[in-house]
């Protein structure tokens, strides 16, 4: 069964840092672009960042550039999101998702991990 | 970066047909924007429905179909079921910025 499981969410003060992880199983992780998507409370989905299979390309939405860093470890079948200089508007559920090269982006999603930025 | 716009809300009767649309601030939506559609029910993660404009995943009911319509991406539900009540999001590729952009979502009520 294809599965993505996020972890690492929590409560952090403004200006703080947090590292999210996403454990993948049931497919060949190294063959897929991977993506982070977030959803603020009561709001819509926001595409955050993605990373190429070998990590050589990374793309970010403007609102997180210079603060967030996406990375992966293909040997560990894991995706990461390092979040620095966190702000209140970063409060959201963060989902990791797989991009299927034969179909489209975000064909499989994790259940999400919640990040709350508050003093 | 591109702004993607959807109807905030729509209402449809059970058994009816409804079309949701997705437009881009940069102009007409084309196949080059690789339109995708997602469904999200309360308390759940989103689920992919349609990829590359009009392709259904194997788990997508046949009553869901995607197309390009009048310069927009469109998602049509035919023979709507009560379980189709959900939020629907489109996703477009912004080739200039090499990123993907979600629309604001459409809340579909089946009443």
Tens-place pLDDT, residues B39-96: 999 999 999 999 999 999 999 999 999 999 999 999 999 999 999 999 999 999 999 9
Q: How many CB pairs under 8 A join A and B?
A: 64
Q: Determine contact: B45 vs chain A, CB below 8 A.
A: yes
Which tens digits make up the pLDDT trace of A19-55?
999 999 999 999 999 999 999 999 999 999 999 999 9
Q: CA A5 → CA A24, A98, A108, B101, distances in Å?
A: 7, 12, 11, 23
Residue B69 tokens read as: 């319509």
Give residue B101's Cα distance to chain centre.
12
What is the pLDDT averaged over residues A78-83?
98
Distance in angstroms (rounded) separating the CA atoms of residues B30 and B27 = 9
Q: What is the pLDDT of residue A101?
A: 80
Residue A9 CB-half CA count within 13 A: 18
> What is the DSSP-derived secondary structure letter of residue B19?
E
Residue A74, number of CB atoms within 10 A of its CB: 15
* CA gyration radius, chain B: 13
Q: Which two tokens mark A95?
A: 């989902």
Chain A contacts of B104, Cβ < 8 Å? 44
Chain A residues near residue B103 by CB distance under 8 angstroms? 44
B51/A103 Cβ within 8 A: yes
Q: Given B1, B36, B101, which is nearest A104 (Cβ)? A: B36
Nearest to B45 among A44, A47, A110 (CB): A110
């Amino acid at each position: 069964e294809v599965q993505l499981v996020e972890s690492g969410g929590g409560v952090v003060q403004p200006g703080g840092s947090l590292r999210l992880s996403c454990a993948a199983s049931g497919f060949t992780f190294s063959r897929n672009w991977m993506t982070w998507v977030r959803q603020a409370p009561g709001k819509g989905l926001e595409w955050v960042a993605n990373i190429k299979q070998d990590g050589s390309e990374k793309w970010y939405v403007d609102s997180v550039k210079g603060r967030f860093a996406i990375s992966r470890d293909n040997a560990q079948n894991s995706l990461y999101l390092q979040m620095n200089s966190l702000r209140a508007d970063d409060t959201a559920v963060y989902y990791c998702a797989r991009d299927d090269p034969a179909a489209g982006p975000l064909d499989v999603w994790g259940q999400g991990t919640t990040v709350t930025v508050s003093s | 970066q591109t702004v993607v716009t959807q109807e905030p809300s729509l209402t449809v009767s059970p058994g009816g047909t409804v079309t949701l649309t997705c437009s881009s601030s940069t102009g007409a939506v084309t196949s080059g924007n690789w339109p995708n559609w997602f469904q999200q029910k309360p308390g759940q993660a989103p689920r992919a429905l349609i990829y590359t404009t009009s392709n259904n995943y194997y788990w997508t009911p046949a009553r869901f179909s995607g197309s390009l319509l009048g310069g927009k991406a469109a998602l049509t539900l035919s023979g709507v079921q009560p379980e189709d009540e959900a939020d629907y999001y489109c996703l477009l590729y912004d080739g200039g910025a090499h990123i993907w952009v979600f629309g604001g979502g459409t809340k579909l009520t089946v009443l």
